Structure 1
Amino acid sequence: MARDITVDYAKELDKQDRLRKYRDEFYLQQDVIYMDGNSLGLLSKRAEQSLLLLLDSWKNHGIDGWTQGEHPWFYFSEKLGEMCAPLIGAEKEEVMMTGSTTTNLHQLVASFYKPEGTRTKILADELNFPSDLYAISSQLALHGYDPDEHMKLVKSRDGNTLHDEDIIEAMTDDVALIILPGVLYRSGQILNMEALTKAAHERNILIGFDLCHSIGAVPHKLDEWDADFAFWCNYKHLNGGPGATGGLYVNRKHFGQKPGLAGWFGSNKEKQFDLSIKMTPATDASAYQIGTPNILSAAPLYGSLEMFAEAGMDTIRDKSIKLTDYMMFLVEQELSDYQFTIANPTESERRGGHVYLVHEEAARICKALKEYHVIPDFRTPNGIRLAPVALYNSFEDVWKTVQILKSIMKEESYKKYENKRDVVA
């Protein structure tokens, strides 16, 4: 069937979709097209049920919920780590659901940043999500270094993407640690994590990745690539809920190293309740936990990760590519008169799970889209992110979104709004 711009073509694609049954697993609002799953994924019925199950264990067991019930809380973070491990190409002992993106980054920098001699700098990039840069800056300051001098930022040539060769060129002998995103949060560009890891290790530099915008959308092979560590949130493509417990990965070659930030839940579980003054750390990734697990913030992940195990990351990625390919095709065909620029990589192997459109009226356009019940994501200063998520968005959703965009532009209905972001964008 030749690709065309009709709704019938979109409906035919939906008939062929192997993941279409999962759409019914999510709470989709009637007549609303949700295109912001790369900021906050939607609630699934299974995530709701696993939350209620863990809530029920509190109701029925009280403090004994730590060791009793269907999912004893004392081992719940490890169980979720085991379920998540296939999504990033890791062994279960290397993955832990704990903390948040930024607290996990603080823990990992505190553990793996070891300045010595002229190797004092941390290499990052200017397009990374600012929270990562704030954490890196504060860690440098704690070591007595000026972040303006010791945080080395790779520059973008176009303001949207990075070149691997520019990153590798910046891996000089004054760099002690590298922290990069797996997928750039604005443009959705996938960095070549395998090549970058190889280049870093050839220069005797440890390297870790922020997987916030890649986990659940893009398959990873962290063990095969030999990445040193990674960290991520679970509320975007993994649909864990607002502020869901985060995750971290530590390559087993680093097992036995003491974490930089110690806390009692990083203890060897057999020794934890000895309550000794001297800590006995766990011997795997669970050593990098700090405080007591946030059970109710982690609970929805159990139901969500069940679906990922069933669907499989390769199938999810295949549909994601088709959805974003289709959206770019429609943008080119239907919006060519309205000055939109597709600023994400067009090659599927370099593109994550969303399309990034640049337009000088982006803030206004996003507000108009919401009036028409399409939920986009605005990024300062002029970006519109649209994320058709494989588990719950349809090809018809994509078709309708572009048609609504076309109508907004043709009728200039966006002009009734101010071209500036709201407090939360």
Structure 2
Amino acid sequence: MINEDTSQAYAEALDQSDVLASFRDEFYVSDDVIYFDGNSLGLLSKRAEQTLLAMLESWKQDGIDGWTKGDNPWFYYSEELAKKSASLIGAKAEEVMITGSTTQNLHQLLATFYKPDGKRTKMIADELNFPSDLYAIKSQLRLRGLHPDEHLIRVKSRDGHTISEEDVIQAMTEEVAFIVLPSVYYRSGQVLDIKRVTEAAHEHGIIVAFDLCHSIGALPHELSDWGVDFAFWCTYKHLNAGPGAVGGLYVNEKHFGTEPGLAGWFGSDKEKQFDMEHTMIPAGHAGAYQVGTPHLLSAAPLLGSLEMFEAAGIHRIREKSLHLTAYMMMLIENELADYGFVIVNPTDDESRGAHIYLEHPEAARICKALKENNVIPDFRAPSGIRLAPVALYNTFVEVFNCIQILKTIMDEEQYKKFTNERDVVA
């Protein structure tokens, strides 16, 4: 529980009792910068650096033999990463594959498992989803000669920030074949009840996929127990695998044996792959939905990062994350009440992801002022400020200092020297 104590001494006491405090030393952090953008790009850890350097050394020393030699042969690297990722989403190792990118993996899932038939042709998404997911869905509909305006149901938000699970369930009709939803919404940080939505979808004969980009590495999942059909994610946010790092996908074992819609030779049974036959024999597990050769240099840092998650434990990470965000909300309510900030993210632990989402009419210029004061936030147009204190490397004192800096920015009107427009990359 977080107390209504706004003193720095309280923040210091929280840090002293933090069981994950030692993991901060594993990351390249600057004591002069408060980095609260880990929900867009996680910081580099020393373990991730070492596994990347080990990959380079393997290439340097072994050349092409690196595919089969060394501590982590490249030919099986994706499978090794899948084993280490499985516990983070509550899946069996064979149901996971580390491959591709977020959008590429969604394309693969839709190309393989979205099978419009008769009147069951529609897909459900929502109006708050990340644009890339909607681009993929619309393109897959068009490839089948279906118009998105007629065959994509976008569930409306009641408040502009969150999605009601009741409204999602209400949209499930006998015309729907496939559902794609986020586990955590990238703006508001709302956590969707995956189990409830999945059970309702299956009652209506619909299969469902979840985008885990803003939840994997931040909160626990039990995808296999919940009966989830599919999931996909990136690894460069909370998993700290580096910019443009490899993605991941999950396919429930009940769907094994379905031929990949986007076939490529790395989806082959590994015992058969180098037979070079022109008829593909897919792997008998989630590995079937790989396409091309693994991007090993973008996959290597993930190995070191996942080792750290094994040591820290996802449940302890979630517990600290909730404490960090609860503490930040308490300070905002007590210190910034008169400055026009509105907390938009869900405030209860069940529904709150791993970041705080504030709205303010001057959000873009406030974010620029924060950066000038060495606080790294994330702006989301038109008026959103995301602040993500990450359990593995951020501290309660950093949260305290951030709010004090924000208060100073508002008191001194520092933000007024900036334009209230986003930069090219926000």
Determine the structure 2 residue equivalent to 1:209.
210
Determine the structure 2 residue equivalent to 1:374.
375
Cα pair 1:187 1:355 within 8 Å, conserved: yes
Determine the structure 2 residue equivalent to 1:40.
41
CA displacement 1:156-202 (0-9 Å, x = unmatched)? 01111010100000111111100000000000000000000000000
CA displacement 1:204-249 (0-9 Å, x = unmatched)? 0000100000000110000010000000000000000000000000
Determine the structure 2 residue equivalent to 1:248.
249
RMSD: 0.7
Pairing of 1:217-236 with structure 2 (within 5 A): 217-236=218-237
Q: Does 1:19 align with 2:20?
A: yes
Pairing of 1:12-411 with structure 2 (within 5 A): 12-411=13-412
Tell me how far apart the structure 2 counterparts of residues 19 and 69 of structure 1 sit (CA, whole Å).
32
The amino acid that maps onto 1:69 is: G
Tell me how far apart the structure 1 counterparts of residues 119 and 403 of structure 2 sit (CA, whole Å).
52
Distance 1:172-1:274 versus aligned 2 partners, 3 A rule? same
SS of equivalent to 1:37? coil
**Residue 361 of structure 1, CA deviation:** 0.4
Q: Which moved more, 1:129-138 or 1:26-35?
A: 26-35
**Residue 30 of structure 1, CA deviation:** 3.3
Tell me how far apart the structure 2 counterparts of residues 332 and 112 of structure 1 sit (CA, whole Å).
46
**Residue 261 of structure 1, CA deviation:** 0.6
Tell me how far apart the structure 2 counterparts of residues 172 and 154 of structure 1 sit (CA, whole Å).
13
Cα pair 1:32 1:375 within 8 Å, conserved: yes
**Residue 2 of structure 1, CA deviation:** 4.7
**Residue 3 of structure 1, CA deviation:** 3.8
The amino acid that maps onto 1:140 is: L
Tell me how far apart the structure 1 counterparts of residues 285 and 253 of structure 2 sit (CA, whole Å).
7
SS of equivalent to 1:177? strand
The amino acid that maps onto 1:253 is: K
Tell me how far apart the structure 1 counterparts of residues 289 and 27 of structure 2 sit (CA, whole Å).
33
**Residue 148 of structure 1, CA deviation:** 1.6
Tell me how far apart the structure 2 counterparts of residues 347 and 3 of structure 1 sit (CA, whole Å).
16
Cα pair 2:4 2:330 within 8 Å, conserved: no
The amino acid that maps onto 2:267 is: G
CA displacement 1:73-103 (0-9 Å, x = unmatched)? 0000000000000000000000010000000
Cα pair 1:3 1:9 within 8 Å, conserved: no
The count of aligned residue pairs is 425
Relative to the length of structure 2, the TM-score reads: 0.99
The amino acid that maps onto 1:198 is: E
**Residue 151 of structure 1, CA deviation:** 1.1
SS of equivalent to 2:361? coil
The amino acid that maps onto 2:424 is: V
Relative to the length of structure 1, the TM-score reads: 0.99
Tell me how far apart the structure 2 counterparts of residues 29 and 171 of structure 1 sit (CA, whole Å).
48
**Residue 29 of structure 1, CA deviation:** 2.0
Tell me how far apart the structure 2 counterparts of residues 111 and 27 of structure 1 sit (CA, whole Å).
40
The amino acid that maps onto 1:318 is: E
Percent same amino acid at aligned positions? 67
SS of equivalent to 2:60? helix
**Residue 147 of structure 1, CA deviation:** 1.0
Tell me how far apart the structure 1 counterparts of residues 3 and 340 of structure 2 sit (CA, whole Å).
27
Tell me how far apart the structure 1 counterparts of residues 366 and 172 of structure 2 sit (CA, whole Å).
40
The amino acid that maps onto 1:53 is: A
**Residue 149 of structure 1, CA deviation:** 1.4
**Residue 338 of structure 1, CA deviation:** 0.4
Tell me how far apart the structure 2 counterparts of residues 93 and 121 of structure 1 sit (CA, whole Å).
30
SS of equivalent to 2:161? coil
Cα pair 2:379 2:385 within 8 Å, conserved: yes
SS of equivalent to 2:52? helix
Tell me how far apart the structure 2 counterparts of residues 259 and 210 of structure 1 sit (CA, whole Å).
19
Pairing of 1:5-16 with structure 2 (within 5 A): 5-16=6-17
Cα pair 2:99 2:290 within 8 Å, conserved: yes
Tell me how far apart the structure 2 counterparts of residues 2 and 55 of structure 1 sit (CA, whole Å).
48
SS of equivalent to 1:378? strand
Tell me how far apart the structure 2 counterparts of residues 193 and 185 of structure 1 sit (CA, whole Å).
16
Tell me how far apart the structure 2 counterparts of residues 396 and 148 of structure 1 sit (CA, whole Å).
49
SS of equivalent to 1:49? helix
SS of equivalent to 2:157? coil
SS of equivalent to 2:154? strand
SS of equivalent to 2:350? helix
